[in-house]
Structure 1
Amino acid sequence: MSRHPELHELLVASMHVACPMTVPVVVPRLADMSDEDYRVALGYKSDEDEGKYIERMTGIVTFYAAIVQVDSLPGMKNPVGIDVGWRWVARTLNMRPRKVTPSVLLAFLSVAGHSLHKTYKKQFAKLLQFVASDYSARMPDGCEGAVARLRVFLDGVFKSRSVPIPEGRELATS
């Protein structure tokens, strides 16, 4: 991992350019910005509809979460570790939700949630309670399906009192 830190920097920078949701950052709409300019600032590709945009953002955030949740190995520190994941979740929850938010939040929690829970225990549980009780209720109209999927995930976590290990996290050794 840290044998080539410049590779990590380039990879993460590329993700930030392609998907502002990996930062995450509030993209302000300037007074002189056209609708198209604002869409570009949000990360839309030209002629990309909202569904394709959400799908692409979710895919990039999923990949980002996979990198974040990788454990450091002796002598090889993950420069984009679980502490970065904690900050990502906190920053996301401090932003006004957009239609893309429940999808990317679910993607991130599905992949990095187990590691976040293992590391931050009760604080992470409180954060999930906040998402379930308050934040998910503030989602904008038009993303009810994604909010329902997020709530199903959270209900499963609360019921089992654990966050599922993502597929591929525990590789079999031969």
Structure 2
Amino acid sequence: MTNTLTATVKPRSEDSFAITFVPLSLEEIYAKADDPANGAVVVMSGMVRNNTDGQAVIALEYQAYEPMAMQVFYQIAADIRTFWPDINRVVIHHRIGRLQVGEISVLVAVGCPHRSEAFEACRYAIDTLKHNAPIWKKEWYSELDGKLSSSWVSIGACEQSGQNC
């Protein structure tokens, strides 16, 4: 993969990338990935769950270094087209700010003539995003004594540590 820190990749007009405070919409992301030449649209939805490693999570707070994160998103799409040239659309949208349990934090969608390539490319996109994008999350935990605690975690560090964040 090209070094995203030194290369400037331009997004394709048919793709869509965003980092936003606005709640994400499955319908909107699906529509952005849809194309008449598609035989499949695969969508991956990442959500805030109510626990991490047995600790009760009440919210997550996301921050991103947006200029670099967007370049990572563009590079992911360019890499996808190198590995799977038939891909028609790539959509990557990530939320920032404080999210409650059940809210969508990230949506990745890939439109392609064939389902196997769409599945593979979508998995590549989310795995690479989690590993490379400068996005951090703060996990807010509920303690038994009624106090709150929290900690910042790089989403890439979750994968490297073996945690399933």
**What TM-score, normalized by structure 1, do the two folds share?**
0.27
Q: Which has the higher contact order (CA 8 A, sep 6+)?
A: 2
More helix by share: 1
**What TM-score, normalized by structure 2, do the two folds share?**
0.28
